[in-house]
Amino acid sequence: MPLPFVRSRLRVLVRLRGELDRHRTDRVHRKLSRALARGPAVLEVDLSKVTFLAPECGAVFLRVASDAHRSGVRFVITRGSPRILATLRMLGLERYLDAPLPFDQSHRPDERPQP
């Protein structure tokens, strides 16, 4: 009989940085999967230091977000340049997130922009 799933933390934060090109896809996937395996209630990915995001690497976010959903873990993206966030929107990531992508670097998913 499998052991029950126990959450180890309320939130795990993963900060990514640099150029996330197709050559770093496996590394990013391993990092996010390890964070997810810790059993948080929320897996937060901070993209404020990411300077480039290749679509192949962006697809990793889709896979991990799907895995998080199946595990009952909220998956959120915080910060990120408008260009990085636009790439994620084009890939359709917002359908898999538990909070909308921020509008720019200064907004967190639980904040609403002021009109």
- Return the domain boundaries, the chain: 10-96
Q: What percent of the chain has pLDDT over 70?
A: 82
The residues, ordered by sequence, that sit 6+ positions from 86 with a Cβ below 8 Å of its Cβ are: none
| pLDDT given for residue 8 in this prediction | 54
Tens-place pLDDT, residues 3-53? 344 445 799 999 999 999 999 999 999 999 999 999 999 999 999 999 999
User: 18: which residues sit within 8 A by CB, 6+ positions away?
Assistant: 24, 49, 50, 51, 52
Q: Give the phi and the psi of residue 82 in degrees, each rounded to 5.
A: -55, -35
- Residue 91 belongs to what H/E stretch? none
Residue 103: per-residue pLDDT = 63
Pick the CATH number of 10-96 from 3.30.750.24, 3.40.50.2000, 3.30.300.170, 3.40.50.12280: 3.30.750.24
The rounded distance, in Å, linking the Cα atoms of 93 and 88 is 6
State pLDDT tens for residues 65-101: 999 999 999 999 988 899 998 888 888 888 878 777 7
Amino acid at 40: P
pLDDT score of 102: 74
Tell me what pLDDT residue 3 has.
38
| Nearest one of 81, 21, 70 to 46, comparing CA atoms | 81
